[in-house]
């Protein structure tokens, strides 16, 4: 990558304007791909990529990202700061041009940024257009400048708000709930992106804090790609030192690092201008070609033992390989379904030449390591041949043909795949009930004994030797292995995983999903794989019984049962019964859920409920009430020790409430909490109920009998207690607890059952999840468990 000279000017004249911003809010998906969680996170990437561009140009080394409680995000860097002088063509400050004009920025001026990121290149203006509000603070020229926008429109002029002895840009924005299907950011998704950026940009530090989950992380890797590969191989035994090189041709820079380990999984990650190219592209093709050519050339031309003189194919050369390939180029062309495939044809030959030359140089200079690598890949070639012979042997013996179906399979009478169903069940007990309860005309049953092999950790030839997997492959009849699967021969177009509702059942289901994802991805893509939804509860009253799928459905069933008998009466006589009572209790359930979520913020339930029943004047917003001190006085009147404080640093200014109750329970909250979904949603419900009932006190009545006075936040538990009276509620752990008639009626009868169809929304993301949670490496699983353990409501052990 060409270095940008330190005296290169970065002023308003560096900002090139291509077009306006008019259509972004009308068709947001055209600019950010979608309005689901992918598009939501893309907003953060666009802003962070601008800060990374400053780091790539040599002007920044630290980025700070904060996810706030109200789902707003602050991204700050210590770069030069967006120019604030007047743009000569637009007659506006340059920062306002950048924020309000599509395709306006320094990236289109080749003297300002030689290389830049950004997936679609639409820039921060699109983030601004799709945000409820965006505030930009620029530290530059010894001053601190600030401007606020709402849905892309400036609502304040750019103004100086203070002095600054540092430089940089801070952007805070809140995604517009009118635009996005979801407004919940994922710490996991963003962490993955920030980690990659830190690896790819040596010397860059990214500090990340999620105020909702209280997760914190710092990403900084001085080792660059070498460190990246070392961490990819964490938990595996590398068989040689890491090979890492950088090279440049014209304006294109190529960096790569590789290491073989003792495992057999291929893990090759590719990037273009810091963007993860999940679908590969020309740089990946060049790398694969160079690796195979270099290994074959070295094997044939070196004085290795004759037994190692094998001809390799591409898969052999990559078994057990961890590699990262990164290219940086001025004008990347992204293509593919998700716009993450590099299309620049010139990159293929350039990467191939550089990687080939560097690998040959390494092989010839390091004969000991080279021999270990050759032994590894030749062993892979022989294992591939052994797997082919094993598959041929199995086929010749008829074990994979229709004539030799597994003995444990209770097949169906129909030979029409489009109407035939295969239920994969757990154990002989459930298998017995399923066989007796099924419709034999079109439903087949295959019981599996114990937990099947984890194919994520097993070579293909070993997998074929597993009896349970062999029985499953044979029953399906579509063949197995690359180049041998033919879904036209598939004997069932509904393959249904039906396991118990306990932890063992979940584990077996996961092992089966791993098997299908790794060996039969096309079967999933065609919509042939399903998961049965057996009931979790049986609710009985005398001779009447109902089957309930989950906890939420049980609540709904119980409330519906008593809705005609119970009434809740407000202080003014307002009554809730029947359908109104169902809706009323559903609102209280939502309040309870938000209260549980607030526990992660250290907000005690009693404190949360006091928040909701405040005495805010109707003519003030909650934020006005908090910032003007009214809320502080209200809490003090309830006996809390409470303070409103303002904290300011080089990044931004924040207002906080610190609250302590008589039990010594302490919480410090950013006041934006009161603009968050966690607070606003239940607060609006409580305000509506209080207005209707003229108070917080209620009477619970069953028919004409008064059951007692009750406060609003206790109603839910009392109603559920009444609803459970006289009922026998059984929680199922296993399918074997149901008799054949019950299993048919609840889980197998097409007229009553619920099936979940398995799909692959993002193949590369699914690949990463299976590798992380089902692979050989312990550390990624441990990290996942540690991050998610506290969010569990129930633990089945």
What are the catalytic residues?
426, 500, 502, 504
Tell me how crowded residue 257 is: count the other CB atoms within 10 A of its CB. Answer: 24
What are phi and psi for residue 666, nearest 5 degrees? Answer: -120, 140
Alpha helices per DSSP H over 495-621: 503-519, 521-525, 551-562, 578-598, 605-612
Question: Crossing angle, helix 763-774 and helix 503-519, to 10 degrees?
Answer: 130
Name the token pair of 177: 């709930």
Which of 718, 329, 317, 732 is CA-nearest to residue 505?
732
Numbers of helices and strands, H then E, in the chain: 25, 31
CA distance 309 to 380: 13
What are phi and psi for residue 780, nearest 5 degrees? Answer: -60, -35
CA distance 717 to 82: 55
- How far is C-alpha 266 from the geometric centre of its chain's CA atoms? 22
CA distance 650 to 648: 7
Q: Which residue has 């606003």 as its token pair? A: 680
Strand blocks (E) in 558-675: 566-570, 575-577, 641-648, 653-660, 666-670
Say which residues have a Cβ less than 8 Å from residue 41's Cβ, sequence separation at least 6: 185, 186, 189, 190, 193
CA distance 351 to 285: 9
Whether 275 and 197 have beta carbons less than 8 Å apart is answered as no
Q: How far apart are the first and last CA of the chain?
A: 54
Name the token pair of 363: 């092989």
Name the token pair of 342: 């590099």
CA distance 312 to 292: 7
Q: Which residue has 């070609």 as its token pair? A: 289
Say which residues have a Cβ less than 8 Å from residue 69's Cβ, sequence separation at least 6: 211, 212, 601, 669, 670, 672, 673, 676, 678
CA distance 84 to 159: 10
Name the token pair of 63: 């980025």
């Amino acid at each position: 990558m060409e270095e940008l000279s330190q005296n290169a000017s970065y002023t308003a004249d560096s900002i090139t304007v291509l077009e306006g911003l008019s259509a972004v809010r009308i068709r947001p998906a055209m600019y950010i791909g979608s309005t689901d969680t992918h598009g939501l996170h893309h907003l953060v990437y666009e802003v962070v990529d601008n800060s990374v561009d400053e780091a790539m140009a040599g002007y920044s080394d630290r980025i700070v990202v904060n996810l706030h409680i109200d789902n707003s995000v602050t991204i700050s860097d210590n770069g030069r700061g967006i120019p604030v002088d007047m743009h000569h063509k637009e007659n506006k400050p340059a920062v306002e041009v950048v924020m309000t004009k599509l395709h306006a920025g320094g990236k289109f001026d080749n003297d300002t940024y030689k290389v830049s990121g950004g997936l679609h290149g639409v820039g921060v203006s699109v983030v601004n257009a799709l945000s409820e509000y965006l505030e930009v603070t620029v530290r530059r020229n010894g001053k601190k400048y600030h401007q606020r926008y709402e849905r892309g429109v400036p609502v304040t002029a750019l103004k100086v708000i203070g002095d600054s002895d540092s430089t940089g840009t801070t952007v805070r924005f809140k995604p517009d709930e009118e635009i996005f299907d979801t407004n919940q950011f994922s710490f996991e998704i963003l962490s993955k992106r920030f980690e990659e950026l830190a690896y790819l940009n040596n010397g860059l530090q990214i500090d990340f804090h999620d105020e909702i989950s209280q997760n914190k992380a710092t990403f900084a890797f001085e080792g660059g790609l070498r460190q990246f590969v070392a961490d990819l191989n964490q938990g595996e035994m590398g068989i040689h030192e890491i090979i890492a090189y950088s090279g440049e041709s014209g304006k294109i820079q190529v960096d790569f690092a590789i290491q073989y380990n003792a495992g057999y999984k291929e893990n090759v990650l590719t990037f273009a201008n810091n963007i993860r190219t999940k679908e590969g592209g020309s740089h990946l093709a060049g790398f694969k070609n160079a690796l195979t050519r270099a290994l074959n050339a070295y094997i044939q031309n070196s004085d290795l033992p004759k037994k190692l003189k094998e001809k390799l194919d591409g898969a052999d050369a990559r078994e057990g390989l961890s590699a990262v390939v990164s290219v940086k180029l001025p004008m990347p062309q992204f293509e593919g379904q998700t716009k993450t495939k590099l299309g620049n044809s010139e990159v293929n030959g350039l990467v191939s030449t550089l990687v080939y030359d560097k690998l040959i140089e390494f092989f010839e200079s390091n004969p000991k390591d080279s021999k270990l690598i050759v032994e590894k890949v030749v062993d892979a070639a022989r294992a591939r041949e052994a797997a082919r012979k094993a598959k041929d042997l199995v086929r010749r013996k008829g074990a994979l043909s229709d004539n030799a179906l597994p003995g444990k399979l209770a097949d169906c009478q129909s030979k029409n795949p489009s109407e035939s169903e295969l239920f994969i069940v757990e154990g002989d007990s459930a298998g017995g009930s399923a066989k007796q309860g099924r419709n034999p005309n079109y439903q087949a049953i295959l019981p599996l004994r114990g937990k099947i092999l984890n194919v994520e950790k097993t070579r293909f030839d070993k997998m074929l030797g597993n009896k349970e997997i062999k029985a499953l492959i044979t029953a399906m009849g579509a063949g197995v292995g690359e180049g041998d699967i033919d879904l036209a021969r598939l004997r069932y177009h509904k393959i249904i995983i039906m396991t118990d509702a306990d932890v063992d059942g979940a584990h077996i289901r996961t092992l089966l999903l791993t098997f299908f994802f790794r060996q039969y991805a096309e079967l999933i893509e065609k919509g042939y794989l399903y998961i049965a939804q057996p009931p979790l509860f049986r609710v009985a009253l005398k001779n009447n019984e109902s089957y309930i799928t989950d906890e939420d459905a049980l609540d709904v069933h119980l409330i519906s049962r008593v809705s005609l008998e119970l009434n809740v009466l407000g202080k003014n006589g307002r009554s809730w019964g029947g359908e109104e009572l169902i809706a009323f209790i559903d609102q209280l359930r939502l309040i309870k859920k938000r209260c549980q979520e607030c526990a992660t913020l250290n907000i005690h339930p009693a404190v949360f409920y006091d928040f909701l029943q405040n005495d805010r004047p109707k003519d003030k917003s909650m934020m006005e009430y908090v910032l003007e001190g009214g809320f502080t006085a209200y809490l003090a009147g309830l006996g809390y020790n409470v303070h409103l404080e303002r904290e300011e640093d080089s990044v931004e200014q924040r207002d906080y409430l610190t609250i302590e109750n008589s039990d010594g329970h302490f919480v410090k909250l950013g006041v934006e909490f009161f603009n968050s979904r966690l607070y606003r949603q239940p607060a609006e419900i409580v305000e509506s109920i209080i207005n209707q009932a003229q108070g917080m006190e209620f009477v619970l009545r069953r028919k004409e009998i008064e059951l007692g006075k009750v406060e609003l936040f206790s109603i839910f538990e009392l109603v559920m207690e009444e609803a459970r009276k006289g009922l026998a509620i059984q929680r199922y752990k296993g399918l074997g607890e149901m008799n054949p008639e019950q299993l048919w009626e609840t889980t197998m009868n097409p007229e009553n059952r619920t099936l979940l169809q398995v799909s692959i929304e993002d193949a590369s993301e699914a690949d990463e999840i299976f590798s992380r949670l089902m692979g050989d490496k312990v550390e990624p699983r441990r990290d996942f468990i540690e991050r998610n353990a506290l969010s569990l409501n129930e633990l089945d052990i």
